[in-house]
Amino acid sequence: MTSTRQEISSRAHVAVVSICLFVTSLFLTAYSSRYPQVARVGNALVLEIVAPISSIVETTRVGVVTMWRRYVYLIHTSQENEKLSSRVAELEGKLAAIGESQRENERLREILNFSTQTQLSGVAARVVGADASGWIGGLVIDRGSRDGIKPGMAVVHAGGVVGQVASAGSNSARVLVVYDHSSGVDAIVESSRARGVLEGVGDSLCELKFVTKDVAVKSGDSVVTSGLDQVYPKGLRLGTVTDVATNSGALFQAIEVKPAVDFSRLEEVLVLTPSGASAESSRPLEARKR
């Protein structure tokens, strides 16, 4: 009952206000028609009051619209930037892969040219790691017995001698490098033709032993293979003499040799195989060229 009365009272209130507003508007209309000068003054006063408010409202509206548009534009720009950044990263990755492939091709071409110039047949292999056994200073290559690789085969590079195969699995092999303590290569000093044995002393250095004091050897002399050990062909570069010392009580000179190959940058090698090795068993160098 109470709610019904309140609803009737609210409706009556609304009706009274509406009637009052309607009567007021009629009165103002009639008054403006009779006294237009007063109406103009009233319009001017209303305009002076309302104009600043309208200006503020319009300025606020324009500012809000502008900010919204900029916000939407920034979101769109950010999304486009993310897409472009992702695309650039993808293209840079592809470009890097292409560049690496080109550099590998150049290195393999260098080995192929070396094989052609020296008339040495062999199997190109990639260096895939260092020997993990700890017993020898060596490398691991990605070719093995199924490619015709056998222990004792010489491993070379366009720069010079790398070492020899110590052991071979089906798909990989361990290479004993020339600077290992257990390595020995029959060698000749190219200028004086002095003969000795190049042995490894570790730390990427070698020593040419058994060269008598009466033979002139100096820093800068080139050391090459003699071919007498039946492992390495004659004339392959072993390294360069970096220091020569002669002790009064010693029979032989102490000759330090730096290997010709930069093992820190070695990535591909050539394993020398017998000339009669078949293409099927050894997958020759030409098959590796890209």
What is the span of the domain harbouring residue 33?
Answer: 2-63
Total number of domains in the chain: 2
CATH number at residue 272: 2.40.10.350
The reply to whether 43 and 124 lie within a common domain is no
- The answer to whether the pTM exceeds 0.75 is no
Domain annotation covers residue 91 = no
Report yes or no on 203 lying in a domain. yes
Q: Which residues contact 136 (CB under 8 A, 6 or more apart)?
A: 166, 174, 176, 180, 182
55 and 186, same structural domain? no
- Residue 273 DSSP one-character state: -
Question: Are 24 and 167 contained in the same domain?
Answer: no
Q: Which of 165-169, 172-176, 201-205 has the lowest mean pLDDT?
A: 201-205
Hey, which of 118-127, 253-262, 263-272 has the most confident mean pLDDT? 253-262
Token code pair at residue 290? 């890209």
Average pLDDT over residues 55-64: 74
Domain boundary among 63, 82, 100: 63
Q: Which range scores top for mean pLDDT: 104-108, 194-198, 243-247?
A: 194-198
Give the domain-ending residue among 63, 81, 102: 63
Q: Is residue 92 part of a domain?
A: no
Whether residues 229 and 127 share a domain: the answer is: yes
Residue 16, amino acid: V
Over 70: is that where the pLDDT of 196 sits? yes
The helix/strand count (H/E) of the chain reads as 3, 12
Q: Are residues 124 and 258 in the same domain?
A: yes
Q: Is residue 24 part of a domain?
A: yes
Same domain flag for 16 and 145? no
**125 and 53 share a domain?**
no
Return the pLDDT at 278: 35
State whether 169 and 261 are in the same domain: yes
Is residue 281 scored above 50 in pLDDT? no
Q: Which of 74-83, 154-163, 171-180 has the lowest mean pLDDT?
A: 74-83
Does a structural domain hold residue 74?
no
Q: Name the token pair of 53.
A: 């408010």
3-class DSSP assignment, residue 221: coil
**Of 136, 127, 112, 135, which Cα lies nearest the Cα of 173?**
127
Residues 157 and 278 in one domain: yes
Least confident of 104-118, 190-204, 226-240, 245-259: 104-118
Q: Which helix (H) or strand (E) holds 26?
A: helix 2-34
For residue 201, is it within any domain? yes
Same domain, 146 and 233: yes
Q: Do 41 and 139 belong to one domain?
A: no
Residue 90: inside a domain: no
Of 40, 63, 86, which one is at a domain's C-terminal end?
A: 63
124 within domain boundaries: yes
C-alpha 47/C-alpha 65 separation (Å) is: 26
Check whether residue 57 and residue 134 sit in a common domain. no
- Tell me the mean pLDDT in the region 206-228: 93
* Backbone torsion region of residue 281, taken as left when φ is above 0, otherwise alpha when ψ lies between -120 and 50, otherwise beta: alpha
